Structure 1
Amino acid sequence: MHVAVMTGGLESEDLARRLLKAGHRVLACALDDEALERLAHHGRIERASLESVPAKLSRPRVLWFATTPAREFDAALDKLEGSLAKDDTLVDSGNTFYEDDLCRAKRLERRGAFLLDAGVFKEGYRLSFAVGGDFAAFEFLRPLFESLAFRGGVCHCGGPGAGHFVRSLHERTEHLLRMAYHDARECIEASPYKVDLGFSEFLLFTQRYCKGQPCADLPLEGLAAMAAPSVTSRPD
């Protein structure tokens, strides 16, 4: 597949490298000369200015924004919008506020184009994606996402904004779990009981203790409500 990587920086270079290794053609818009030189060892990579990207891409066109502040994304969209056509897709895998996805998806819809917001999860070198947006557009690009993810690591979560919403919720959940384990550890250390319990043993103990118990489902319900401030309020 022919993909334009629209942003610069290490995240974009990593994305371009993964795309090349997966056999895709990459058009780089904002990567510097040193990054392009490093990437040349992994496959064919072309260079283009922002304005020339639509003309150089195969149709339907795929433009991937990896790390873009909201103002820069909207500025790029202002320049690109007139050149976009039916079935073109913009992928946003940055840390975008999900309500911004809703506005941009409606804006692109007027031209018959799509926005897919992709929440990215990393485990070592492996990736997985939680994707929001038009389902038909997602299905068309599913092979692209699957070529970058481990098996079973691609999920369509719902309409525009769903991917970034799930990613934000996941980050909040991780934070709450770290707090919970830290508090539990402090309680153990402050108690009169000399319990030598490592983190992995503590996780195993928690899993066994809660297995099959109704209370095991309570955190999942509570975490969604407790996470609300992080996913429903605009970041600074």
Structure 2
Amino acid sequence: MFGKLKASLGIGAAKVDTVLSSMAIYQGDTLQGTVNIQGGDVDQQIDAINLKLCTEMKVESEDSVSYQDFTLGSLQAVQPFVIGKNEQKQIPFQLKLNDETPITVLNAAKNQSHVWLETTLDIEFALDPKDRDYVDVLPLPVVAKMIAAIEQGGFSMVKADVEKGFLNGHNFSSKSGCYQEIEFRNNAFINKKEIELSFVLDGAWVHCLAEVDRSIGMRGDQYLSFSFGKNASDSEVHAAASRILSV
């Protein structure tokens, strides 16, 4: 009887630790790993193991800015089971990244883009044991080439963040409900510009929306959008970058 009471109160509860096969992964790839569960002082019913891929997005209103966790994808790893006293279990899993998962490995002066995997044990009448593992999301080679081309054009990456909302390009739109902006600035005195890039994966294609802001002049913000294959040539990437730089 006391053992059941301990279990329901969360005393001596099971513990969870997720181990990823790799902490670094490219956009659009699949996370793989193992959920390790260590039984507590008593037998406990585990109703579910829930995995959530999360990021933090900026939410702007007329008079305030706040930040909220946003779920990009989820997975229930197992059916209900009982973890015995001091028992150890290993549950393998695979979770494909949402195509719009933000890039986190960026050489930005202020990088506010973060992605993590949150693992939760669903235990009745108890505080859910949780585990959070941050993931390094690498840009696809073609995306890295585009970023490098902008930097070679005299711009420095100053900021990267994730914002609430949707993107709409010439022939594409985002779907997740949040999008990443990667901001660049040049150091010119007269022709001072800011460039913001957002990338959206779509199967074998990479879509890009670019916003160019001139601080001097009356042209206002200019928007360009284009698409290229994941295996686009260097010349294709540099042609797209040249369009942005020439605005």
> Is TM-score (shorter-chain normalized) higher than 0.5?
no
Q: Which structure's residues are more often strand, by fraction?
A: 2
Greater relative contact order structure (CA < 8 Å, 6+ sep)? 2
Which structure: greater helix fraction? Answer: 1
Give the TM-score normalised by structure 1: 0.29
